[in-house]
Structure 1
Amino acid sequence: MNTLEVIIRLFLAIGVGGLIGYEREYQNRPAGFRTHILVCVGAAVISMIQLYDVDQTVNMILAHPELASALKADIGRIGAQVVSGIGFLGAGTIIHQKGSVKGLTTAASLWVVACIGLAVGLGYYTLSILATITVAVVLVSLKKFESKFLYKLNLIKIEILYLDKQLMVQKIQDYFQSKNIKVKNIEFILEDEMEDCESKYRRSLYSILVPRYISTGEIIEALASNSEVIKVTII
C-alpha cells in the first residue's frame, strides 16, 4: 500500500466521520464533529495497520519459507477489538435524566462510524460511501418520521393547584386517560387556607408519560380550563 493510497483513505475517513459528526454536532449531542472524525480515522488507521502486518508476514514467509508454519496474521483480530472497544466511548454519551435515557443514537453513530472507518482502512470504498449515505439518511430523514409516526412517551412532571373539590381529582384522571397519558406518580400536598376564600386548596404533583404528539401547552390549557383549577405549572 503506497503513500497515495494511505492519504486517500485517511481523507475519506475524515469525510465520512465529519459528515455523520456534523449532524450530531448540529443536534447539540455530546459526541459531535471532531469526535466522530477521530473515531473514524482511528478505525481506518487500525485497518491499515492490519494490512501492513499481513504484507509484512507474507514478505517474511516468501523470504524464509521455513517460517510458514510459525508466522500467522489474523486480519480480523485488531478490528474486532475496535468494534467492541468503541462501546466504552459510546457509553460516555448516554445520559440518564429525569427518568429517560438520552444519547443512545449518538452512541450508535459512534459505533457505526468506527465500523465504516475499518472498511475505509481496508479499501472498501464503495461499501464505505454507501454506508455513510445510509447512516446520514437514517439520522436526518428518519428522525422526522420517528417523531411524527412512532408512538413514544416523554416524562413530564406537572404541578396542579386546585380547589379542594371531591370530583377534581377524578376529572384530572379522566382527562389523562382520554389522551392516553400514563400517570407514573402522584403526590398530594394539603395547603393552608387561601386568604380570599374559605375553601382549602390542594397542590398535586403528577409525574406523567405523555405521547410525543401531545404538547405540554395543550395539557396546560386543558387542565386550566377547569374552574376549580387555580394554577398549572410544568416542573
Structure 2
Amino acid sequence: MDFDFEILIRFLLAILWGGLVGAEREYRGKAAGFRTTILISFGSCFFTLMSSVIGGTGNPDRIAANIVTGIGFLGAGVIFRGENRVNGITTAASIWAVAAVGMGIGGGYYFAAGCASVLILFVLAVLSFFERQIDSFNQSRTFLAKGNLAADIQYNCEQMIKANKLRAKLLKRIRESDQVIITWQIQGHSKNLEAFVDQAMKAEFIERIEC
C-alpha cells in the first residue's frame, strides 16, 4: 500500500472514531462535542505520525509522549464546579480516551483503536443508565429553610427529614432579628428526597425554601 494513501486512511479513521464519540457527547449537550472530539482524535493521530517521522528509529515517541500531558490541560478546561457537584469529569475522561484512540490509529493499531472506540461509546451511552440507577439510591442535596424563630424551624425540619428516612448534616445557621435561616446537606433515595421536598413546600412554618 502506498505510504501517502496509508496516512490518508489513518486520518479518516481518526475522524470516524472521534466523530462517533463526539456525536454522543454533542447529543447530550456536553462542552466537548462533535467537532472538538474529532479534532482531538485527528490531532493525536497526526502528532503520533509526526513523532515517528521526526524522532526516527532512535526516538519515535519524541512528540507522542507529550500528547497525554497536553490533553490533560484541555480536559481540565471542561471541568467546572456547580452548586452541589463537580461537572464535566466524564467529558474530560472522554477527551483523554479519544486522544488515546487517535494515538493508536496514528501508530497503525487500527483494530485496537476501533475496539477502544466501541467500548468508549458503550460506557458513555449504555452504562449511563446504570449510573442513574445507582445515583438514585443515594442522592445529595443542599436544603435551605427560612422561618420564624418562634416556630422552631430546625426541630420541625429535622423531624421531617427523619420521617422521610433521610440523613442530614447541619451546615449553617443564621439569625436575622426574629428570622432564622438554616442549611443542611441531606442524603438518601431520590424518591424520599422528592417526598421530603414536597412536604417542606407545604409546611406553613417554612417561609422560604432552596433545594
TM-score range, shorter chain: 0.7 to 0.9
**CA RMSD, aligned part only?**
2.6
Between the aligned residues of both structures, percent identity stands at 29
Partner of 1:67: none
CA–CA distance in 2 between the matches of 1:77 and 1:48?
11
Task: Supply the distance in 1 between the matched residues of 2:166 and 2:12 (Cα, whole angstroms).
Answer: 50
Give the conservation status (yes or no) of the 8 Å contact 2:146–2:208. yes
CA change 1:222–1:142 in 2 (3 A) is same
Structure 2 equivalent of residue 123 of structure 1: 108
Query: Residues 147 and 212 of structure 1 are in contact (CA less than 8 Å); yes or no, is this contact kept in structure 2?
Result: no
Amino acid paired to 2:209: T
More displaced stretch, 174-183 vs 78-87: 174-183
Aligned equivalent of 1:136: 121
Q: Conserved in 1, the CA contact under 8 Å of 2:154 and 2:182? A: no
Any unmatched runs of 5+ in structure 1? 58-71, 193-201
Seen in structure 2, the aligned counterparts of structure 1 residues 48 and 146 have a Cα distance that, compared at 3 Å, is same
Alpha-carbon deviation of 1:220? Answer: 2.3
Structure 2 segments unaligned to the other structure (5+ residues): none
Q: Given the superposition, is the C-alpha separation of residues 33 and 215 from structure 1 closer, same or farther in structure 2, using an over 3 Å criterion?
A: farther
Q: CA deviation at 1:212?
A: 6.3
Q: Which has the larger radius of gyration?
A: 1
Secondary structure of the residue that 2:113 maps to in structure 1? helix
Q: What is the TM-score with the length of structure 1 in the denominator?
A: 0.76
* 2:12 alignment counterpart: 11
Rounded Cα–Cα distance in structure 1 between residues aligned with 2:53 and 2:9: 16
Pair 215,27 (structure 1): closer, same or farther in 2 beyond 3 Å: farther
> 1-side partners of 2:71 and 2:186: how far apart?
32
Rounded to whole Å, the distance in 2 between the matches of 1:122 and 1:206 is 54
- CA-CA distance at 1:191 after TM superposition: 5.4
In 1, Cα distance between equivalents of 2:140 and 2:183: 13
* Alpha-carbon distance between aligned partners in 1 of 2:105 and 2:189, rounded to the nearest angstrom: 38
1:188 aligns with 2:164: no
Q: 1:186 touches 1:205 (CA, 8 Å); kept in 2? A: yes
3-state DSSP of counterpart to 1:28 = coil
Question: 1:215/1:23 Cα in 2 relative to 1: closer, same or farther (>3 Å)?
Answer: farther
TM-score (norm 2): 0.84
- Is 1:52 aligned with 2:53? yes
- 8 Å CA contact 2:165–2:192 kept in 1: the answer is no
Q: For residues 129-186 of structure 1, what are the alpha-carbon distances to aligned partners after superposition, in whole Å with 9 as ceiling and x for unaligned?
A: 11001011111111111111245544434334357234x4223113334533433513
Alignment of 1:68-147 (within 5 A): 73-147=58-132
Question: 1:36 & 1:89 partners in 2: Cα distance?
Answer: 11
Q: Does 1:156 align with 2:152?
A: no
Q: When you count helix as a share of all residues, which structure comes out higher?
A: 2
Question: 2:148 & 2:19 partners in 1: Cα distance?
Answer: 52
